[in-house]
Amino acid sequence: MSKEFPITISSWTLGDQCKFEDRVIAAKNAGYEGIGLRAETYVDALNEGLFDKDILAILDKHGMKVTEVEYIVQWAEEHRSYEQKYKEQLCFHMCELFDVKQINCGLMENYSVEYTAQKLRELCQRAGKYIIGVEPMPYSGIPDMKKGWAVVKAADCENAKLIMDTWHWVRANQPINLSVIEEIPADKIVSIQINDVWERPYATTILRDESMHDRLAPGTGIGCTADFVKMVKEKGIKPNAIGVEVISDAILAKGLEYAANHTYENTKKVLEEAWPEVLQ
């Protein structure tokens, strides 16, 4: 258990085919302190017939919290769809409802640093008191930490920060070394997401398929997770949450309980090796 940095089972780790209370129970029984919710999985809970007060009551009943909210996309588009505008407002509402300080965001479209920074600045202004966590992904318009930091730095907003994800880090061919983030202040990295990867990546054209279907639990692939966590610790990063994002069809096929237990047990092993203080 981490008092300072809640160990959180990300929304995708438990998929999108379960009832809200089943998600909470699986996470709690496995040992997690928090759950992540996407706007879509929050709407799924509402479609079960739950109201906000019911969702809060379920969390309270099981002694759990929502500690991660996501995922705003297409925020750099000149003409954004109403769906994306609504989704953004929903994420703001979720932060208020669950007392979460940040929203995870990604950008598939590729624009210049200057243009992207301007659009990020506008998003940060709309977000107000909430932190916008930009997540570099190798198949996206912000493929690595280098461009991620260039965009966040150019946006020059107090609430613009970065997210570090093991899978995205490794698949962007970045060495697990502090040199990659030496220019980035530790307080500009808002949270981390951990997992592991297969030795051989999918082909570049379908790399996103691997990301969305075939990740591995921390420490069970090429063994990069412990080194990644050690790097985070050495940098002095204080993540709002330690997200465990293991998007895996094979793991989820074994059931909700298995997915929660398998990912937590392996996360705990990695943290015991790399950052034992987190578990105090």
Are 115 and 76 in contact, with CB atoms under 8 Å apart?
A: yes
Cα separations in angstroms, 157 against 37, 108, 120, 161, 251 = 25, 21, 9, 9, 39
Preceding omega of 139 cis (within 30 degrees of 0): no
With CA atoms as reference, report the closest residue to 258 among 16, 26, 15, 10.
26
Residue-wise pLDDT tens digits, 25-57: 999 999 999 999 999 999 999 999 999 999 999
Are 113 and 151 in contact, with CB atoms under 8 Å apart?
A: yes
Which amino acid is it at 237? I
pLDDT in tens, the chain (280 residues): 556 899 999 999 999 999 999 999 999 999 999 999 999 999 999 999 999 999 999 999 999 999 999 999 999 999 999 999 999 999 999 999 999 999 999 999 999 999 999 999 999 999 999 999 999 999 999 999 999 999 999 999 999 999 999 999 999 999 999 999 999 999 999 999 999 999 999 999 999 999 999 999 999 999 999 999 999 999 999 999 999 999 999 999 999 999 999 999 999 999 999 999 998 7
With CA atoms as reference, report the closest residue to 73 among 43, 28, 40.
40
Residue-wise pLDDT tens digits, 194-234: 999 999 999 999 999 999 999 999 999 999 999 999 999 99
